[in-house]
Amino acid sequence: MKKIFERKIEKLKNYYIGILIISTFIIVLSLGWNIYNESQHYKNAALEHAKNSFIKNIMFRDWVASHGGVYVFPTKRTPPNPYLFHVKDRDLITTGGKKLTLMNPSYTIRQLMEEHKGMYGAKGHITSLKLLNPKNKPNNWEKKALKIFEKGKKKELYEFLSKDGEEYVFYMKALSTKQSCLKCHEHQGFKLGDTKSGIFISIPMKKYYDDMYSAIYDIITIYLIFYIIGIACLIYIYKNLKASLLRQEKLIEENRKKDEIMLAQSRHAAMGEMISMIAHQWRQPIAVIAMWANNIVADVDMDEMNSKNFKDYADNIVNQTKHLSSTIDDFRNFFKPNKEKENIVLKDIMEECLAVVNKSLENNNIQVEKNYKSQNKIKIHSRELVQVYINLIKNAKDALIENNIKNAKITINIYEDNDNIITEIRDNAKGIDEDIILKIFEPYFTTKSVQSGTGLGLYISKIIVEKHLHGIIGVDNINNGACFTILLPKENK
């Protein structure tokens, strides 16, 4: 029994370790998925910032282009654009005598992005494969993007790259040449609808990564807290279930010891019955031996002893002693438990029991009717079933005697169905009172006097059949008598 509970505890431990491993795997998977989504969220936010910056720049560029450029007072920071020499109205003088110079879209955007970096340090400029101003020269990444635009494969391109030890998102979108653009770029060969230029935006990722790492730290902290709580709950449940199993093991062990004590008490009571039965079996042979011994003494006293008479007397005494010896063999080790199971026909066990009790039944004028319809063997501890059979036959005998039944009879049926071998032990002793029939298998319940019964016989029989032999025992009132039924499985697992 201890090994069974050790296996249960080991199985329980493995079960919860399995739950822990699977839960950990799911949590790690979920955490990884959330970290990935969080990183993508901040990258998408940076990309969205770049796109918004492009929209702002394109709107500004279109506004400047729609007005053919804007005129400003020339300064050191905004000198006349030497690359607009071909524009005849590049420089103007107001009626008040003040000088003005023309700023085209690319000039204004470059100055805007250089001086006003925008949120998170966004930078950008208009660039092209055909440059008007060398300061707008594209870098290698911009050249790659412009060539893709020129071939018409894509209209925008972005990439997360490292530059000078810092991470950036590079974004570029193609510009279509409009009518307003031709004022400054027509001499370069630009035509309406060309996509040989684009606006480049770069966004440093440091601020986004700082925010992302802070969010990921919060996510990991939350997951870790719930993971620790989950492990604590699993450990708590496991310990409670383990303690419950240990309590169950202790309770079963206590019940087992109690049953062993009751079984021992039942065996002692049964031994008293056996001694009574031996007395019934031996009474007649001993009387015969005493009679022949008296005959020998009488012949000797009357001097009538001869070898023939003496031999006859001796032969009769020997026959009776053989009968006594046979009776001793029947009772020897009758209740000694057999440790190994044996394949045996139930009919043979019943016949062994009847050989012991038969004389007692005969002396009380009780007829035994036997109907054996099963010859299949079953693997059981036969000594335990012997005790059950003896208990049931003895109870039937006592009921028949107590109720003073005429034509008293015990009927024994042994037959089988698909799964079980069934034993029925019936009597015609008027049956069991319906008020007590549900209590007769309880310990220490008896309808007999203290001298006649302990109230353990049927309880022990139930323990043996159901716990040791893995069968079923029950009782019903049938045909004006009690019928005890025992079902034993053909394959005892």
Residue 411: predicted pLDDT = 95
Residue 481: predicted pLDDT = 92
Residue 203: predicted pLDDT = 87
Region 325-344 average pLDDT: 64
Residue 420: predicted pLDDT = 92
Residue 189: predicted pLDDT = 58
Give whichever of 64-68, 79-83, 416-420, 434-438 has the largest mean pLDDT: 416-420
**257 pLDDT exceeds 70?**
yes
Q: Report the percentage of the chain scoring pLDDT > 70.
A: 81
Identify the weakest region by mean pLDDT among 86-95, 204-213, 450-459.
450-459
Residue 264: predicted pLDDT = 62
Could you report how far apart the first and last alpha carbons of the chain are, in Å? 16
pLDDT range class, residue 182, cuts 50, 70, 90: low
Give whichever of 57-66, 239-248, 318-327 has the largest mean pLDDT: 239-248
Which carries the bigger pLDDT value, residue 339 or residue 466?
A: 466
Region 102-106 average pLDDT: 80
This prediction's pTM: 0.48
The domain made up of 333-489 is a member of CATH 3.30.565.10: yes
Which carries the bigger pLDDT value, residue 159 or residue 301?
A: 159
Residue 234: predicted pLDDT = 87
Provide the residue ranges of all domains of the chain, joining segments of one domain with +.
2-69+104-204, 333-489
Which carries the bigger pLDDT value, residue 374 or residue 382?
A: 374
In the predicted model, what is the mean pLDDT of the chain?
80
**449 pLDDT exceeds 80?**
no
Nearest to residue 182, comparing CAs of 282, 105, 292? 105
Which carries the bigger pLDDT value, residue 123 or residue 267?
A: 123
Region 444-470 average pLDDT: 71
Which carries the bigger pLDDT value, residue 343 or residue 455?
A: 343
Tokens of 57: 């720049």
pLDDT range class, residue 451, cuts 50, 70, 90: very low
Residue 373: predicted pLDDT = 93
SS (H, E, C) 357-398: HHHHHHHCCCEEEEEECCCCEEEECHHHHHHHHHHHHHHHHH
Region 291-298 average pLDDT: 78
**138 pLDDT exceeds 70?**
yes
Interval 53-97: pLDDT, tens: 888 877 877 788 778 788 888 888 888 887 777 777 888 888 888
Residue 358: predicted pLDDT = 82
**404 pLDDT exceeds 70?**
yes
Region 209-226 average pLDDT: 92
Residue 267: predicted pLDDT = 60
The domain made up of 2-69+104-204 is a member of CATH 3.30.450: yes
Residue 184: predicted pLDDT = 57
Which carries the bigger pLDDT value, residue 64 or residue 265?
A: 64
Interval 114-126: pLDDT, tens: 655 554 567 877 7
**450 pLDDT exceeds 50?**
no
Residue 136: predicted pLDDT = 74
Region 108-135 average pLDDT: 70
Region 472-476 average pLDDT: 93
